[in-house]
Amino acid sequence: MTATTSIVDRLRARIGQDGPATEAMVEAGHLKRFVEAIGDPNPRWAEEAPPTFLVALAPASVHLAEAEEYGKGWLNGGNRFEYLEPVKVGDRIKATGRVADVYEKTGSSGSLLFIIFETDYVNQEGRLVARLRGTAIRR
Amino acid sequence: MSLKVGDEIPELVKHPTTRQLVQYAGAQGDFYEIHYDQAYAQSVGLPGVILHGLLKAGFLGQLVTDWLGDRGTLKTFEVSYRGIDQPARPYTCRGRVTKVDGDQVELEVWGEDSTGNRTTVGTATLDMKG
C-alpha cells in the first residue's frame, strides 16, 4: 500500500460523518463587507443574503488535517447551492458539514484527490434554508 | 414576461485587483495564502496569486440576480472552476437562457478570462413565480 492510498483510505473512513455544527448570526455589517468585496451594489443585500453568502457564515468544508498530507495545495473544483428559503439579516443559521465522498483520479499531470463536502444550513426555526455541495481538490 | 431559449443575459465585466482578493478573503474568512501571497502561490506551482473560486461564483451570482431582479427566485446555482484567474485582468460574466418550462427556467452562466477562455462554467435554475 502506498502512502497516498492510505491517506485516501483514512479519509474515506470519514464519509457520511457530520463535522461539528457551527452557528452564526447573519449580521448587516458582515453582509455589507461581503457584497463590497464582490463589488455588488444591489441595495437588496442590505437585508438579504446574496447567493454565495452562506460560505462566509460557516466553513464550507470539514477540516481534514490528513488531506493536507496529500499533494501540495488545495483547489476549489466547484460549488452547488440549493436554496429553499431566503436568508435574512437577523437569522441565526446552524451549518452542519460532512464528507460526502473521497476519491483519487490519476491523469496526465499526476494524481489528484477529490473530496466532496456537503453542508446543510438550518435557521432559528429549525427549517432547512439551503444546502451546499463543494468539491475540494488536493494536487 | 416571455423568456425564451437563447435569450442572453447582459454581460458583467469585473476588474479584480489583489486588494479585492484581500477584501474578499476577509469577508469570507478564507485566508488560504494562494489568494494574496505571491511567493506562496508560486511555491505551490501557480503563476501568482489567483482569484478565489467563490469570488468568481459571487460575480456570477451578481450577473444572475442583477438580471433576475424581483421577477423570480433562484432555486439552484452551480459553478465549476475550470481554470485559474489572476488579478489585474478583466473577468467577464455572461449567460443565456437554456430551458423554459412554464415558470421553471434554466440558465447557463460562465466567466471568461481576458482571452475569452471560459474559466468558470455554471448553471442556475429559477422559479419565475417570484
CATH of the domain at A98: 3.10.129.10
How high is the pLDDT of residue A110? 86
What value does the mean pLDDT take over residues A109-113? Answer: 89
| Residue A27, pLDDT score | 98
Do the chains contact at B80 and A73, CB–CB below 8 Å? no
Q: Is residue B28 part of a domain?
A: no
pLDDT at A72: 86
- Option in B44, B65, B80 nearest A78 (CB): B80
A→B contacts (Cβ < 8 Å), by residue, are 30, 33-34, 36-40, 42, 44, 50-52, 55-56, 59-60, 72-83
* Residue B95 placed within a domain: yes
CB contact under 8 A, A52 and B53: no
The 10 Å Cβ neighbour count of residue B78 is 17
Does residue A44 sit within a domain?
no
% chain B with pLDDT above 70: 98
A10-54 residue pLDDT tens: 999 999 989 889 999 999 999 999 999 999 999 999 999 999 999
Q: The whole model's pTM is what? A: 0.95
User: In this model, does residue A1 exceed pLDDT 60?
Assistant: no
Q: Which residues contact B100 (CB under 8 A, 6 or more apart)?
A: B3, B4, B5, B106
Would A50 be classed as within a structural domain? no
**Is the pLDDT higher at B6 or at B1?**
B6
Can you tell me the distance from the alpha carbon of A139 to that of B46, in angstroms, rounded to the nearest whole number?
A: 11
- pLDDT above 70 (res A2): no
Residue A31 inside a domain? The answer is: no
What residue in A sits closest to B64 (Cα-Cα)?
A: A51
Note the pLDDT of residue B93. Answer: 98
Residue A96's closest CA among A135, A126, A65, A51? A126
B69 part of a folded domain? yes
- For the segment B44-77, what is each residue's pLDDT rounded down to a tens digit? 999 999 999 999 999 999 999 999 999 999 999 9
Domain of A121 in residue numbering reads as 3-26+57-138
Q: Do the bridges between strand A110-122 and strand A128-138 make them parallel or antiparallel, or are there none, so unpaired?
A: antiparallel
| Mean pLDDT across chain B | 96
Residue A103's contacts (CB-CB under 8 Å, 6 or more residues apart) are A8, A113, A114
CB nearest A83 (choices: B45, B74, B80): B74
Residue B77 and residue A50: Cβ atoms within 8 Å? no
| Whether the predicted pLDDT of B2 surpasses 90 | no
The pLDDT of residue B1 is above 80: no
Q: Which of A22, A54, A79 would best serve as a mutation to test chain B binding (most B beta carbons within 10 A)?
A: A79
Asked whether residue A3 carries a pLDDT value surpassing 70, the answer given is no
- Closest to B122 in 3D by CA, of B113, B106, B109: B109
Q: Residue B105: inside a domain, yes or no?
A: yes
The answer to the question of residue B107 being in a domain is yes
Which pLDDT value is given to residue B58?
98
CATH code assigned at B77: 3.10.129.10
User: Residues 6 or more apart from A104 whose CB is under 8 A from it?
Assistant: A4, A8, A111, A112, A113, A114
Dist. CA B29–CA A59, nearest whole Å: 8
Containing structural domain, residue B77 = 8-16+51-127
Report the DSSP pairing between strands B91-101 and B8-14.
antiparallel
**Closest alpha carbon to A75 in A112, A128, A118, A22:** A112
SS3 of A45-82: the string is: HHCECCCCCHHHHCCCCCCCHHHHHCCCCEEEEEEEEE
A52-107 pLDDT, tens digit each: 999 999 877 778 888 999 988 889 999 999 999 999 999 999 999 999 999 999 98
Determine the residue of chain A that is closest to B66 in CA distance: A42
Domain presence at residue B111 = yes
Domain tally, chain A = 1
* Count of the separate structural domains present in chain B: 1
C-alpha cell at B110: 460562465
